[in-house]
């Protein structure tokens, strides 16, 4: 049985653990840096020592990449040719990577997909690997900044990742007990937020606002709020790459083991072109690759 694994898109804490767990069930080759490696033929046997050493770490020991060229026929065909050398190709990535896997499946390759993206935006899955780790890092940052923000009764925007998905922002808001959630532009009701800020100041407290990235420039939010509250009291903190590079949460390591065991089972059963997804109760569900 020839099985190839690759990580695609933004790396997510837990990706390494899936690769390690898979290697306990299957003899694997890997494509270095995702679809790019698949296209360029950067394909090697897994280095079991490196994989074992990285099993509790973030990052992607087999490397990852965003590879928009894969949409172009010329590159796709090269990737397909290499994928067809394998009985199975396992793709670990987000929704864009899932699309790539589906297209390869439609073209005749035998694909399995495992959700790995901090954004938790994989269609039809309640969870994707790395989400909890990212949220934990956001909460940690907030908890470590707020004592200082409170000391001056300041207000702080905490910018979290997620691209088009507000899931990290929403979960961080809940877990950090923040005052305001701005997961989409409509949430930025500046008068209501200013009222909350003033109320907190009167109670001798600072204000914590969780803000999803990539909506408007930071100065837009800070200046809009500072028009309604005391100048110089609004701060902006980007949580940043700790969301992807921080230690994987226990939950992600556990989910990684579950994804790997389910994928190995699908292979043993000879099932083709499946996504290993998660239902609302956090159980693994197997679906056709959509
Ligand atoms: O998709 C994962 C993610 O971390 C997004 O939340 C974020 O917008 C993006 O990747 C950042 O991409 P890059 O790694 O290219 O900076």
* pLDDT tens over the chain, length 290 residues: 999 999 999 999 999 999 999 999 999 999 999 999 999 999 999 999 999 999 999 999 999 999 999 999 999 999 999 999 999 999 999 999 999 999 999 999 999 999 999 999 999 999 999 999 999 999 999 999 999 999 999 999 999 999 999 999 999 999 999 999 999 999 999 999 999 999 999 999 999 999 999 999 999 999 999 999 999 999 999 999 999 999 999 999 999 999 999 999 999 999 999 999 999 999 999 999 97
User: From atom 7 of ligand 1, which residue's Cα is the shortest distance away?
Assistant: 163
Residues 6+ apart with CB under 8 A from 110: 86, 87, 88, 89, 272, 273
For residue 213, report the distance from its CA to the centre of ligand 1, in Å.
Answer: 10
Q: What is the pLDDT of residue 201?
A: 98
Pocket test for ligand 1, best of 97, 98, 116, 119 (most atoms within 8 A of CB): 119
Q: What is the pLDDT of residue 177?
A: 97
Q: What is the pLDDT of residue 290?
A: 72
Phi and psi torsions of 33, nearest 5°: 60, 45
| pTM of the entire predicted model | 0.97
For residue 79, report the distance from its CA to the centre of ligand 1, in Å.
Answer: 24
- Is CATH 3.30.1330.40 correct for 132-245? no
| Gap between the Cα atoms of 7 and 55, Å rounded | 14
For residue 90, report the distance from its CA to the centre of ligand 1, in Å.
Answer: 22
For residue 244, report the distance from its CA to the centre of ligand 1, in Å.
Answer: 9
CA distances from 71 to 6, 66, 258 (A): 17, 11, 31
SS3 286: strand
User: From atom 3 of ligand 1, which residue's Cα is the shortest distance away?
Assistant: 10
Asked if domains 3-130+248-288 and 132-245 share a fold, the reply is yes
SS3 97: helix
Please give the number of the atom of ligand 1 that sits closest to the Cα of 94: 1
Residues in contact with ligand 1 by the CB-under-6-Å rule are 9-10, 94, 117-119, 161-163, 213, 244
For residue 197, report the distance from its CA to the centre of ligand 1, in Å.
Answer: 30
Cα 284 to chain centroid distance, Å, stands at: 18
Q: In what order do the strands lie in the sheet with 234-238?
A: 180-182, 207-212, 155-160, 234-238
Reading the block at residue 269, the tokens are 């059963």
> Where are the chain's structural domains?
3-130+248-288, 132-245
| Gap between the Cα atoms of 252 and 15, Å rounded | 9
The class of domain 3-130+248-288 in CATH terms is alpha beta
Q: What is the pLDDT of residue 242?
A: 98
């Amino acid at each position: 049985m020839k099985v190839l694994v690759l990580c695609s898109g933004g790396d997510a804490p837990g990706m390494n653990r899936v690769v390690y767990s898979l290697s306990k069930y299957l003899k694997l080759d890997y494509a270095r840096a995702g679809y790019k490696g698949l296209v360029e033929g950067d394909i090697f046997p897994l280095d079991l020592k490196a994989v074992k050493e990285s099993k509790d770490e973030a990052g992607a020991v087999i490397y990852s990449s965003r590879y928009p060229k894969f949409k172009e026929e010329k590159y796709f065909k090269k990737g397909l040719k290499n994928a067809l050398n394998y009985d199975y190709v396992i793709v670990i990535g987000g929704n864009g990577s899932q699309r790539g896997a589906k297209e390869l499946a439609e073209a005749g390759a035998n694909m399995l997909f495992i959700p790995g993206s901090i954004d938790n935006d994989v269609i039809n899955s309640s969870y994707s690997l790395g989400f909890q780790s990212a949220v934990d890092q956001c909460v940690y940052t907030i908890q470590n900044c707020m004592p200082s923000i409170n000391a001056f009764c300041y207000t702080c925007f905490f910018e979290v990742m997620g691209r088009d998905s507000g899931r990290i922002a929403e979960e961080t808001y809940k877990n950090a007990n923040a005052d305001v959630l701005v997961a989409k532009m409509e949430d930025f009701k500046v008068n209501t937020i200013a009222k909350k800020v003033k109320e907190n100041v009167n109670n001798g407290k600072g204000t914590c606002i969780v803000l999803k990235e990539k909506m408007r420039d930071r100065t837009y939010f800070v200046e809009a709020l500072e028009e309604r509250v005391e100048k110089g009291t609004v701060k902006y903190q980007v949580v940043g790459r700790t969301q992807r590079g921080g230690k994987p949460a226990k939950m992600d390591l556990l989910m990684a083991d579950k994804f790997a065991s389910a994928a190995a089972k699908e292979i043993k059963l000879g099932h083709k072109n499946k996504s290993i997804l998660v239902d609302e109760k956090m159980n693994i569900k197997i679906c056709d690759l959509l």
